[in-house]
Amino acid sequence: MTRRTANVARALLGAGILALVGGNASAVPPPSWFSYQGVAILDGVPISGNADFRISIYATPTGGSPIGGTGQLLNVPVANGLFTLQLDLTPQPWTQFADRWLQLEVRYPAGSGSYVPLAGRQRLTAAPFSLATRGINVDVDGNVAIGSGEDGVPLTITGSSNDRFIQFNTTASNYWRLSENGTNNLSFSFFDGGTTINDVLMLNKDGIAKVRVLQITGGSDVAEPYDVAAAGEVEPAPGMVVCIDPDHVGKMRVSTQACDRTVAGIISGANGVAPGLTLAQEGTVADGEWPIANVGRVWCLVDADANGAIEPGDLLTTSDTPGHAMKVTDPAASQGAVIGKAMSRLESGKGMVLVLVGLQ
């Protein structure tokens, strides 16, 4: 019995495997199949007629088992050995960013006899369409991994109807996970060795956020935004004391008189100390241009000539100098008009004093 042998002169178009598609390139997305052309020679003679082809993908150039099974293309026309195959392979071979080899087997005539391997497996190389997906792996369930490596993947996107998440891996077992569990709640959690430490942040569809501890490092006071009216030619500025504007509901004005019981706070932002937390509701009366601090540490304009030098611990109230505070020397007159307590000194003149805001 003579053993049949086959070889093929292969021609892969372009820089690797390239699907050739006619027409407007922007009209449709590229197909999932790619074209493979070659010349099949069986027992030293180019074949002509219909033949069957069997296609397999391997992880190694020799030996091993097919990845993702084996596919067939039946009754493929072959003319003087020349054939063209449109290969549409399963996703399994591509779930890892690793070398892959293509093996073809031919059965001629079609439907008769055994498959004969075409000589040698061919290493698959990058195609123009796939160059943009280097390091991105999609498994058969549609899960996405970006930047795969031996120690795990830095980013994983996966999901089902009740468990969708993006995972950021620090090691193979320690990772952060941003997930949505089907209840319209978004959570950001840390896992240590696969065990949940806690839900660091939870956010629902109504914009309500929950955290265990909130640490703010960008500012030192709690403020609410208000529109503030000027006091004559004195325009509002950070550090100025403001009072309730009796003629405009929900608005403020620069302070202008001593021991004013309508005092409401200090414009935040002076000397580079920003608001730590701003409370507002856009489009309502609870909104405005200037952040007014009513809790926390704020730099405040003070007139030390109005009622004496300022020492840490002194209570402060409004003065006749627009936008400036002064030391309280008459507690009875200042009752209900105290802005807060001084935390720094001012011997004389006008200047800035750090104030622990606390209306009383």
Tens of pLDDT along 137-152?
666 566 666 665 434 4
Q: What is the pLDDT of residues 285-320, one digit of tens each?
A: 999 999 999 999 999 999 999 999 999 999 999 999
The answer to whether 215 and 202 are in contact (CB under 8 A) is no
Average pLDDT (310-334) is 97
Out of 165, 192, 211, a domain closes at 211
241 and 259 inside one domain: yes
Q: Which domain holds residue 201?
A: 135-211
In the predicted model, is pLDDT for residue 154 greater than 80? no
Average pLDDT (48-67) is 92
3-state secondary structure of 125: coil
Average pLDDT (84-91) is 80
Q: What total of structural domains would you count in the chain?
A: 3
Q: Residue 161: pLDDT band by 50, 70, 90 thresholds?
A: low
**Spatial distance between the Cα atoms of 68 and 93, rounded to a whole number of angstroms:** 6
241 domain residue, yes or no: yes
pLDDT of residue 91: 64
Higher pLDDT, 239 or 101: 239
Share above pLDDT 70 across residues of the chain, in percent, rounded to a whole number: 76
Average pLDDT (89-117) is 83
pLDDT of residue 243: 97
pLDDT of residue 292: 96
170 and 206 inside one domain: yes
54 and 31 inside one domain: yes
In the predicted model, is pLDDT for residue 273 greater than 70? yes
13 and 58 inside one domain: yes
Higher pLDDT, 182 or 343: 343
1 domain residue, yes or no: no
pLDDT of residue 76: 95
3-state secondary structure of 238: coil
pLDDT of residue 234: 96
Write down the mean pLDDT value for the chain.
82
Out of 132, 155, 190, a domain closes at 132
- Residue position matching structure tokens 């509002």: 236
227 and 351 inside one domain: yes
127 and 176 inside one domain: no
Positive or negative torsion for Cα 59, 62, 63, 69: positive
336 and 250 inside one domain: yes
206 and 242 inside one domain: no
Out of 132, 149, 165, a domain closes at 132
CATH code where residue 276 lies? 2.40.300.10
pLDDT of residue 133: 62
234 and 354 inside one domain: yes
pLDDT of residue 247: 94
Average pLDDT (40-52) is 90
**Spatial distance between the Cα atoms of 228 and 224, rounded to a whole number of angstroms:** 12
Q: What is the pLDDT of residues 12-34, one digit of tens each?
A: 333 233 332 333 334 444 556 67
pLDDT of residue 119: 78
In the predicted model, is pLDDT for residue 47 greater than 50? yes
Q: What is the pLDDT of residues 173-213, one digit of tens each?
A: 788 888 876 677 888 888 887 666 667 888 888 888 888 88
Positive or negative torsion for Cα 165, 171, 173, 175: negative
